[in-house]
Amino acid sequence: MFRRPSAGLALFALAVGTFGIGTTEFVLMGLLPEVAAGLGVTVSQAGHLISAYALGVVVGAPLLAGAGVAFPRRQVLIALMGTFAAGNLLSALAPEMGSLLLIRFVTGLPHGAFFGAASVAAASMVRREKRATAVSRVFLGLTIANVAGVPLGTLLGQALGWRATFAAVGVIGFLAIAAVWAFVPDAAPSGGGKAALRSEVGALRHPQVLLSLGAVVFGFGAMFACYSYVTPMLTQVGGFSPATVTLLLAVVGLGMTAGSVLGGHLSDRAPLKTLCGCLVALAVVLVTFPLTISTPALAVASLFGAGMFSLALGPAIQTRIMDIVGDAPTMASAAIQSASNVANSLGAWLGGIVIAAGFGLLAPSLVGAILAVAGLVVLLVSGGLQVQARRERTRDDVPAEPVPA
């Protein structure tokens, strides 16, 4: 499949990095009581640590991606992962809440830039028609983190203390550095210094890139609107026990893993069609979830489908943006992670609003379906503009008829 024998190991090295990032991003949600008790704060105050990390992702993705365009890609990946690994080790040593908030913000800064640089690196190591598959292999680290890293990290934190979990993630980060150094081929920087940066910033302002990032916000927001409240949905409405919910959340993670692989294969053929198809399927899953939640087999199918169709969006949107921006993909690719974190906040916020308004615990699922449809509308507009631009180019290329004498 790959041009170079080392490409498989290189993709594995990058996936180790995304595994560590995915673990630290979500494991804190399961350790909030332990962190709160250890720092002498309330659980709601400890929840600010999640927001601090997310803010770091949003701020750091475009800034660090832009700063790295003048340097060789492997050096950039190692520097980003080094910051991430050091941040997690420092998190394990933080003496109080204020310092941990700052450290979690700094730890989040390289998150999006690493995903962006890793995606571009993966795509550069394979034939053009296999780019989405390569990107999906990198994203596998994130999905496996949800299946294995987060549950194991939660168990470790509950057994040995939350600091042990952060220390373990830091070690994973340093292992990723070693793997990237050993297996990822070095690549020259984009070149051109300020000219390269201007090209990257210009690509980020491209209308099609902005529309694609808007689709990310709505598409991933659809999933987070439901997923943020899935535990009370399953226990209080579906009647599942807390122990069973843990298994059901693993089903979502398995669906995400399948979606990453499926999205890669489909996006190699048609990224825009893949995005549209996944959003339609996600909307159907979310709008029918209130009907399936009380039947175990159907609930499992819905949760698996929600995870699969949402994560299939990742390789598809990455490939579409790389097609749009051509030789300046780094900042636009990193911006996907900023958009996904905005989606996380937007989805959870809207889901909370409808619950607080008295529409019931299942209402966030319907909000998610509406967001998925909104993302589909954005993509249809994007596709329509693309077709119009193609027609205008074709018309301009047609030679003019000779004027009669």
Rounded-to-integer distance, Cα 57 and Cα 337, Å: 7
Task: Look at residue 133 and give its three-state secondary structure.
Answer: helix
Q: What is the pLDDT of residue 196?
A: 67
pLDDT digits (tens, 9 = 90+) for 263-306: 888 888 888 899 999 999 999 999 999 999 999 999 999 999 99
Query: Is the pLDDT reported for residue 117 higher than 80?
Result: yes
Q: Are residues 27 and 122 in the same domain?
A: yes
Same domain, 196 and 132: no
Considering the domain boundaries, does residue 402 fall inside one? no
Domain end, chosen from 156, 185, 214, is at: 185
Predicted local distance difference test score (pLDDT) of residue 230: 84
The number of beta carbons lying within 10 Å of the beta carbon of residue 25 is 24
Exposed, middle or buried by CB within 10 Å (0-12, 13-18, 19+), for 397?
A: exposed
* Cβ partners under 8 Å of residue 216, min gap 6: 313, 317, 336, 339, 340, 343, 375
Q: Is the pTM of this model over 0.85?
A: no
At 272, the amino acid letter reads L
Looking at the structure, tell me whether residues 196 and 81 fall in a common domain.
Answer: no
Structural domain total, the chain? 2
Q: How confident is the model at residue 108 (pLDDT cuts 50, 70, 90)?
A: very high
Domain assignment of residue 2, yes or no: yes
- In this prediction, residue 12 carries a pLDDT of 93
Residue 15, in any domain of the structure: yes
Domain check: are 56 and 116 in the same one? yes
Looking at the fold, whether 106 and 179 belong to one and the same domain comes out as yes
Percent of the chain scoring above 70 in pLDDT: 93
404 occurs within a structural domain = no
User: Do 140 and 11 lie in a common domain?
Assistant: yes
**Which residues constitute the domain of residue 84?**
1-185
Nearest to 247 by CA among 230, 261, 229, 260: 230
Residues 116 and 29 in one domain: yes
DSSP annotation of 2:
-
Indicate if the pLDDT at residue 221 is higher than 60. Answer: yes
338 burial class (0-12, 13-18, 19+ CB within 10 angstroms)? buried
Calculate the dihedral angle through the C-alpha atoms of 64, 69, 70, 72, rounding to the nearest 10 degrees. 100
pLDDT at 400: 47
Residue 405 lies in a domain: no
161 and 256 assigned to the same domain: no
CA distance 21 to 36: 22
Residue 165, helix vs strand vs coil: helix
Rg of the chain (C-alpha set): 22
Contact of 233 with 278, CB cutoff 8 Å? no
Judge whether 213 lies within some domain: yes
Shared domain for 120 and 99, answered yes or no, is yes
Decide which of 185, 216, 247 is a domain's last residue.
185
Answer with the one of 130, 161, 185 that is the final residue of a domain.
185
Q: Quick one: CA torsion of 171, 344, 110, 313, rounded to 10 degrees?
A: 90
**Same domain, yes or no, for 129 and 252?**
no
Fill in the DSSP letter of residue 129. Answer: G
Does 117 map to a domain?
Answer: yes
Same domain, 232 and 117: no
Average of per-residue pLDDT values in the chain: 86
Residue 8: exposure state from Cβ atoms within 10 A (0-12, 13-18, ≥19): middle
Residues belonging to the chain: 405
Residues 310 and 339 in one domain: yes
Residue 117 belongs to domain with CATH number: 1.20.1250.20
